[in-house]
Amino acid sequence: MTDLLINGVVIGVLIALVALGFALTFSILKFINFAHTDLITVGGYLAYSCGRLKLSVVPSVIVATVLTGLLGVVIERLAYRPLRGQRLSMFLSSFGVSILLNSSITLCFGSTSRTLPIAQDAVRVAGRTLASAEVIALCLFLVLLPLSWFIFRKTQYGLAARAISENWDGVALLGIPCDRLVSCVFFVSSGLAALAGILLGSLYSLSPQMGHKYGIWAFVLVVVAGFGSIFGIATTGLFAGLLITAVMYCFGSYTFVNAVLFGILTIVLLVRPDGLFGMRLRRF
Amino acid sequence: MQLLAHITAHLIIYSALVLSLSFAVSKVNIWSVGHLGFFGIGSVCAAALLATQPTLYTFPCTVLVAATAGALLSALLGFATLRLKQDFFVILSLAFSEVVLGVCISWKGPAGFNNLARPTVLGISLEDDWVFIGVVLLPFFIAAGAVFVRFSRMRIDRVCALIQANEELAMVLGVSPLYYKVGCFCLASATASVWGALATIYARSTDPNQISIESNLLLFSALLFGGLNSLRGSILGGLLLVVVPSLLEATLSYSPFGGNYAAEFRQLLMGCLLIVVVRWMPKGLVGATTLNHSRGGR
């Protein structure tokens, strides 16, 4: 039972990291970046490639995270920036980028699942044996979410990023480099997706479709929580992880996980369109 | 000849599917990206009926059950979710398609139903592929095209145009946008379900992989490439989905990659096309309307 509980918390924590990236880009540009789901996969496969090049664990994770972050910046520059202001076109363009990334990964690595031998050694924590990746996931969650909250609520950069979503031209007139700030947000959100992808690949397996599965769960999570609340994303993430594990344990299939999650999403959207935490903490 | 019949049948099926999606997108601005979910529902309904009682369920009965299932589920989904923001609806429709995919896989495994018998129509045996195309697929496609063209000349089309242009004005004039949207969505989804049933009867089997997220995105790319609100655009979209992969496979078989990577190269091509179409060709190749851009963050 405790193992199931830990498993649920770890899944929830990793989905919350992906969801945070979703929420960051949405809160600034007001569009759903569907390609974010494939950046999870890209991060995992880049770490796998670094491992094949005989890089050790820490450099592999750093290189994969930074490269995925840079890829996110390049995607924003080439596919989204020319379409700014056209929310639907940006959304459709993100579909194109998603297809492109997914097929490129399948062409490079094949469609079979692979294991990512990173952080798989066992660690003893409070009398229980956990995989290192599980401990790292929990530590990242405890560090990165409060850090994101601090940056977006308490620093000048966070204030500027929030202001951009309200009035782009006004912020630009104040001399703040809006484009550079948007690139930074894409770098951070893509890096978060890569970190989640590496840990998910290490705990489960790598496959070209993994990003879509976890990415759509993350999207459900961020909508249920409300796009503007980091605290809401964290809380709902933990709850969602436990729910996914419970449904998997009871029914033994992802089918029912999707059905339950989307049922909850539909109900929440109908009752509280701003999400469960969207009214109280509407913005970062 | 067998290959030609196979390509022709798939071209008709996918062109009709793109046409039904085009109807939902261009008439009432419903971005049903998970449209293949309804195709899957029709496919599974037909397969389940034909697998259990092949002699009891005739061709019209199978098609009718598939259409009813598609219409009922789309009405439920529509009333529950169509009042949401457009991009939220897109993700929900994709999610719906994923649930259908999951149900299909849990029911009969990844291989789906196999060895189904083709029912007869008015005493005519449909065992020959060309007979099936001539007696079933072509008349159904002509009927779907005629309904699409006729709809564009009816008063209801102008009401739909009003709803797209200004929902508040439509409500002031006593029109309920939700009912029109759900009605058109039901029609498009029921049509997709019928084509799912016809595809299953033609192939004598089901393939759950046809309704994956990747396939849904490819279908939507094909629609945008061909162009919205256009019968010719839908046929071009169908060509892109059916003929281009065959050509790619034939071309790649002479390259160092071999023909095995045709599906991946097709995806790569579609991804590039979608980005190009959205940025430089908002009308697609022969579309009658452009993408309906909604203003958002800069």
**pLDDT averaged over 10-residue windows placed end to end, chain B, 298 residues:** 86 93 88 90 90 74 92 88 74 84 80 82 82 91 92 88 87 89 93 94 87 85 86 89 81 71 81 86 78 47
Please tell me the predicted confidence (pLDDT) of residue A85.
Answer: 79
Q: At what angle do helices B138-151 and B231-252 cross, to 10 degrees?
A: 140
Residue of A nearest to B85 (CA): A273
ipTM for the assembly = 0.83
Contact (CB<8Å) B217/A98: yes
Residues of A within 8 A of B282 (CB-CB) are 89
Which residues 183-242 on chain A approach chain B with CB closer than 8 angstroms?
209, 212, 216, 219-220, 223
Q: What is the pLDDT of residue A282?
A: 44
Query: 């007696």: which residue's tokens?
Result: B135
> Which residues of chain A register pLDDT less than 70?
255, 278-284
pTM of the model: 0.83
CA distance B66 to B177: 26
A89, B220: Cβ pair inside 8 Å?
no
Task: Compute the distance between CA of residue A217 and CA of residue A214 in angstroms, rounded to an integer.
Answer: 5
Test A98 with B106 for CB contact under 8 angstroms.
no
pLDDT score recorded for residue A283: 44
Interface of A with B in 98-127 (CB under 8 A): 98-104, 106-107
Question: How many CB atoms lie under 10 A from the CB of residue B2?
Answer: 8
pLDDT value at position B66?
92
Output the pLDDT for position A284.
41
Measuring CA to CA, how many Å separate B109 from each of A253, A269, B52, B196, B209? 12, 32, 17, 18, 11
With an 8 Å Cβ cutoff, are A85 and B296 in contact? yes
The partner residue sitting opposite A30, judged by closest CB among B84, B224, B297, is B297
Return the residue matching tokens 């793109």. Answer: B18
Q: Which tokens hold the place of B275?
A: 């980005």
pLDDT at B16: 94
Q: Is A92 an interface residue toward B (CB < 8 Å)?
A: yes
Identify the pLDDT of residue B106. 79
Instruction: Write out the DSSP string of B78-102.
Output: HHHHTTS-HHHHHHHHHHHHHHHHH
**What is the domain partition of chain B in residue ranges?**
2-212
pLDDT at B54: 65
Q: Do A95 and B295 touch (CB under 8 A)?
A: no
Residue from the list A209, A262, A273 with its beta carbon closest to the beta carbon of B99? A262
**CATH number of the structural domain A2-271:** 1.10.3470
Radius of gyration of chain A (CA): 18
What pLDDT is stored for residue B257 in this prediction? 66
Contact A31 B105 (CB under 8 A): no
